[in-house]
Structure 1
Amino acid sequence: MSGIKVRPSTLIFDLDNTLIWDERSMKEAFETVCLFAEQETGVGGARLEALVREEAGRLFRSYDTYSYAEAIEVTELEALWARFDRGDHPMLRRLEAIAAGYRRDVWRNALARAGADGDKAGALSSELAERFMTERRSRPFVYDDTFAALKALKPTYRMVLLTNGDPSLQQEKVDGVQGLGVFFEHIFISGHFEVGKPYPLIYEKVLEELGEEARDCWMIGDNMLTDIKGANGVGMPSVWLNRSGREPIEGIKPTFSVSSLSELADLLM
């Protein structure tokens, strides 16, 4: 087992694209809303989606909240449906204040760039912003192996979640999947801290709260740049969940690699 001689006492799971299928949820929400926009304006749905993604990135980076959002890993696409109504950090309150205008302006700018009539784009942008929030919330997908693996591991291991993002949104993602939250003793969300994964500080805070040593925990996640790099930085064994056969990132080496949570359960049990 790659030099790891002792089983962990605690498993620390990432959330997005590890336990829940966030990429699918986002893709389907975009497809549905952009199809509606195409019917209303004649703008091709695929082109509009590409422009919305571009405008979201451009506009989100222009705000004074960007450095904080980047540190806790709130993405421009998550900001298209996040409420930002939990947490005490002043920048969360700032994000809450600008969120509605940001969502409207992203859709309006994308429609304008796609050649939609100016009056039509202005009138439709708020509706599209609201539709996207609704459509994304209606799609809390989980992977087929999520619950089976968690049920297999729960009797033997202490399990916690460590996820980057806005406190309200990440908690909503957990609560939106019936029965998911009960598997975890703690849910740690980077928005409650100053930084997220891969910064050592958040791992240190989590270990302090748990009363654990890094060597006694395993970090399980899909993202090499946050989950694996972060765990490696504090001396914590890491498990890279590589569902789609991606190439590893040079210089970042997980302790283990698995292609499914079922394979993780087999490895541990």
Structure 2
Amino acid sequence: MKYDWILFDADETLFHFDSFKGIQLMFARKGVNFTAQDFETYQQVNKPLWIDYQNGDITAAQLKHTRFNAWAQKLGTTTADLNSSFLQAMADICTLLPGAQELMASLVGKAQVGIITNGFTELQTIRLQRTGMDQYIKHVIISEEVGVAKPDQGIFAHALKRIGNPEKSRVLIVGDNLHSDILGGLNFGIETCWLNHHGAEPVESIKPHYSVTSLSELQTILHA
């Protein structure tokens, strides 16, 4: 196999991340009927925060606090409680993307596997255990713990060190986000695979080494 290490993004690369379904479940457990309109309003706050986080303008703690601040005040609780409840709900509804289990099993003994994610620590371990992915994943690199988020080269440098400083040419990053995963990987000098399972439009200035629409397609390429 061409690669010794394959580093995967987590959300929407290995795991489904249906934040509307998760946040609905979280609020339902608190006796609140959270509507599609509520979610749209929440996303108007949440989405720009993630961009700021990826750009290094705010911390993970600031993102977590700000996105739920209005709801915490409304419900008379804390943003920490809402974040924890949300991540618990996301863990409860977590499922793997099609082909994830088969891809991981096919890599055993051929390449080692890690995760590099901008998602939050609280969700990662429980999700890996519940889906059985923990048996395949050697390292989980989490931006919240490293202190910088993808696409910052710092998190890729940290990941490379964690996995034993292999030759960059022997490492592949796989992700669904052209900017944080693919541009981040390209700028760091490792090969990239864009998992475009949502049929997004390519960006002229970002050229991944591979583009696939499914994990099974990636499996075929890796074993070719």
TM-score relative to the length of structure 2: 0.80
Distance 1:52 1:207, change over 3 A: closer
Letter of the 2:152 counterpart: Y
Q: Distance in 2 between matches of 1:232 and 1:267?
A: 19
**Contact 1:241/1:259 (CA < 8 Å) preserved in 2?**
yes
Once the two structures are overlaid, the 10-residue window that deviates more, 182-191 or 215-224, is 182-191
Question: 1:170 Cα deviation (Å)?
Answer: 3.2
- Residue equivalent to 1:248: 202
The two structures, once aligned, show a CA RMSD in angstroms of 3.4
Q: Give the secondary-structure state (helix, strand or coil) at the position aligned to 2:32.
A: helix
Letter of the 1:188 counterpart: I
- Residue equivalent to 2:22: 29
In structure 2, the gaps of 5 or more residues are: none
Letter of the 1:50 counterpart: E
- Residue equivalent to 1:54: 44
Question: 1:219 Cα deviation (Å)?
Answer: 0.7
**Contact 2:22/2:89 (CA < 8 Å) preserved in 1?**
yes
Question: 1:258 Cα deviation (Å)?
Answer: 0.8
Letter of the 1:143 counterpart: L
- Residue equivalent to 2:132: 179
In the alignment, which of 63, 69, 92 is matched to residue 138 of structure 1?
A: 92
- Residue equivalent to 1:15: 10
Distance 1:72 1:20, change over 3 A: farther
**Contact 2:87/2:123 (CA < 8 Å) preserved in 1?**
no
- Residue equivalent to 1:107: 71
- Residue equivalent to 2:218: 264
Question: 1:265 Cα deviation (Å)?
Answer: 0.8
Q: Which has the larger radius of gyration?
A: 1
Letter of the 1:249 counterpart: V
- Give the share of equivalent positions with the same residue, in percent: 22
Question: 1:171 Cα deviation (Å)?
Answer: 3.4
Q: Give the secondary-structure state (helix, strand or coil) at the position aligned to 1:37.
A: coil
Distance 1:54 1:186, change over 3 A: same
| 1:198-220 superposed Cα distances (whole Å, 9 cap, x missing partner) | 11222122222322121111111
Letter of the 2:154 counterpart: L
- Residue equivalent to 1:41: none
| 1:52-89 superposed Cα distances (whole Å, 9 cap, x missing partner) | 3335568x69xxxx96x445799xxxxxxxxxxxxxxx
In structure 1, the gaps of 5 or more residues are: 1-5, 39-43, 75-90, 110-120
- Residue equivalent to 1:211: 165
Q: Give the secondary-structure state (helix, strand or coil) at the position aligned to 2:10.
A: coil
